[in-house]
Amino acid sequence: TGSMLHVPSFARHLLDSAGALLRPLLDQIFAGGDQPGFQVIAGGGDFVLGDTRTHQDLHSDIHVNRQQNKKLPPPLLSVNYCVQELTNANGPTRIVPGTQLEGGLNSETEPVEWRSSRLCPIPAGAAIVRDVRVLHGGTPNMTPKTRYLPSIEYVSADLRASNRKDKFPPTRSLPWKFFDKLPSEVKDLCQEIAAPEGKAMKVEYNRR
């Protein structure tokens, strides 16, 4: 499905409980734009395996045209949830503030100081609200345990209206049995990703 919303813990804790709690903040973030508003597009996240000694290259998760490339609202927003404490040692995300309008990395080399730009310490239970255009990447995980950072992704009404083929229409990745139990303030954000009632979902995992 290209999403993790068929997993009960994603739907119940991240989409439902946390999504309802963050709705007022998200409303403010997406209040501007030619078409104010937003919707859920997927659930996912990232991880860094234990004993990983390398950095992930800096990158942006989406590139948009000049008209959509404005400070607010962000075209695509990821809310990452810390299911464990993020420390300097367990592979926290490195992020370069203020790069959301640059359209990606502008050279083959990066400033040395960017290697030490880490989003930590952050306690378990916190949420990281991130414009996915901002340059970011993984860092070494010097601990033996995998570091997980699941997320829910929100798309602006402006980007949705673009109908770009690599994003829309989104996959209906949220089973009806989970969708039907969502509070109204979250349910109205998930109309386009909810599977029809009674339809069995086929979930496959592709090895990269």
Burial of 47 (0-12, 13-18, 19+ CB in 10 A): middle
Contact (Cβ atoms closer than 8 angstroms) between residue 85 and residue 156:
no
What pLDDT does 198 receive?
87
- pLDDT at 30 > cutoff 90: yes
Instruction: Taking residues 14-38, report their average pLDDT.
Output: 95
- pLDDT at 181 > cutoff 90: yes
- pLDDT at 206 > cutoff 80: no
Q: Which of 9-18, 113-122, 170-179 has the lowest mean pLDDT?
A: 113-122
**Tokens 């909810």, located at residue:** 194
Instruction: Taking residues 76-91, report their average pLDDT.
Output: 98
Dihedral sign for Cα atoms in the order 156, 195, 20, 82: negative
- Which tokens hold the place of 86? 């993020």
Cβ neighbour number for residue 104 with a 10 Å cutoff: 12
Of the two residues 167 and 115, the one the predictor is more confident about is 167
- pLDDT at 208 > cutoff 70: no
- pLDDT at 157 > cutoff 80: yes
Instruction: Taking residues 75-103, report their average pLDDT.
Output: 95
DSSP 154-185: EEEHHHHHHT-TTT-SPP--B-HHHHTTS-HH
What pLDDT does 11 receive?
96
> What does the pLDDT look like over 104-127, one tens digit per residue?
877 777 888 888 889 999 999 999
Q: Which residue from 75, 145, 86, 72 is spatially nearest to 119, judged by alpha carbons?
A: 86
3-state SS class at 129: strand
Reported as type and span, the H/E element at residue 79 is: strand 76-81
What pLDDT does 203 receive?
77
3-state SS class at 41: strand
Q: What is the mean pLDDT of the chain?
A: 93
Contact (Cβ atoms closer than 8 angstroms) between residue 130 and residue 78:
yes
d(CA 170, CA 140): 33
Instruction: Taking residues 35-42, report their average pLDDT.
Output: 95
DSSP character at residue 65: -
Where would I find the H helices in the chain? 8-9, 19-29, 157-162, 176-179, 184-187
Percentage above 90 pLDDT, the chain: 82
- Which tokens hold the place of 44? 């996912």
Instruction: Taking residues 154-180, report their average pLDDT.
Output: 95
What pLDDT does 113 receive?
84
Percentage above 70 pLDDT, the chain: 98
